[in-house]
Amino acid sequence: MIVRTRPNLLTLLFTLRGSILPRVAPKLVGIVAVSCAVVWAEARWPGFFPVSAGVTPFTVVGLALSIFLSFRNNACYERWWEARKHWGSLIGEVRNLARALPALLPDPDAAPQLRRLSAFAHGLRARLRALDEAAAVDGKAPGSDLSGPNATDAILAAMTRDLAGLMRAGRLTDIQFGLLEARIEALSGVHTACERLANTPLPFAYTLLVYRTAWLYCLLLPVGLAGSLGWGTPIVVALVGYTFFGLDALGDELEEPFGTEPNDLPLDAMVRTVDRIVHHALGEPMPEPLAPDGYWLR
């Protein structure tokens, strides 16, 4: 995620870090080249292209395309924001458990449960990014069976099992067990919600429709502008293409909020926040929070 203050006007025009321009630059070069070819042909053979229709058809199509792009980007941003809220809930539940576990459990029993909270955050990040989940959890969750298909959920299962054992041994009351189990259920809900977002993208037909229409629009636009704008046509087409292709590319990034693109969620930084909470509860030195690297908080 890009974290920076709003730059001044000159910097704003030439900023590339966090900009979508590098991703759409090859497309812009292509449509500008087509625009130049259309303007050259119109200058050499006046009336060769059907420019008599003017820009009215392009205005109508452009308006419809803008509305559809806005709809798709709103849907993608909603996915991004929902993912951020779930990870905020995860951090909040870890804070609740970091306060409750040392207060309700005997000293030897609280530490393993606290370490499992850190392992859960590491495992969930790895699962959402299609990394080696077991390797991310291994060594951080003692006593957890990681051989199943969902190592992250196995951590929560091990927490519930151990807390139930303490309750049966009389070291934890049923009310205290219920309070702690409610927090574990909340973590499981975050886990399930994040998996739903990761495994359910927007319907592919939306992306395909926007992509095709944007390309056709930008490739045909020079035909409607060449007769009236001349060599100003490539500039206008480049601005329109930058807007349409940029919104499309930005929607692609926001649609997958758990990825590693500059505008995706900073899962590494949020996992480090969980580690700091756990280390503080254990009375151990806390790791330093992650800082943005070139305005990019990972």
**121-175 pLDDT, tens per residue?**
999 999 998 888 878 877 666 666 666 678 888 889 888 998 898 888 888 888 8
Which residue from 130, 134, 129 is spatially nearest to 145, judged by alpha carbons?
Answer: 134
Domain that holds residue 102: 20-282
Instruction: Give Cβ neighbours of residue 99 (< 8 Å, ≥ 6 apart).
Output: 281
Is the pLDDT at 9 greater than 60? The verdict is no
Q: State the pLDDT at residue 17.
A: 65
Instruction: Give Cβ neighbours of residue 287 (< 8 Å, ≥ 6 apart).
Output: 272, 275, 276, 279
Assess if residue 12 is contained within a domain.
no
Q: State the pLDDT at residue 91.
A: 94
Assess if residue 224 is contained within a domain.
yes
Assess if residue 288 is contained within a domain.
no
Counting the structural domains of the chain, the total is: 1
Assess if residue 10 is contained within a domain.
no
| pLDDT over 90 percentage in the chain | 21
Assess if residue 144 is contained within a domain.
yes
Assess if residue 1 is contained within a domain.
no
Is the pLDDT at 285 greater than 80? The verdict is yes
Assess if residue 293 is contained within a domain.
no
For 81, half-sphere exposure in the C-beta direction (CA atoms, 13 angstrom radius) is: 6
Predicted confidence (pLDDT) per residue in 174-193, tens digit:
888 889 999 999 999 999 99
Neighbours of 124 (CB within 10 A): 30
pTM of the model: 0.85
Q: State the pLDDT at residue 3.
A: 67
Q: Give the mean pLDDT of the chain.
A: 82
Q: State the pLDDT at residue 120.
A: 92
pLDDT band of 55, cuts 50, 70, 90: low
Assess if residue 292 is contained within a domain.
no
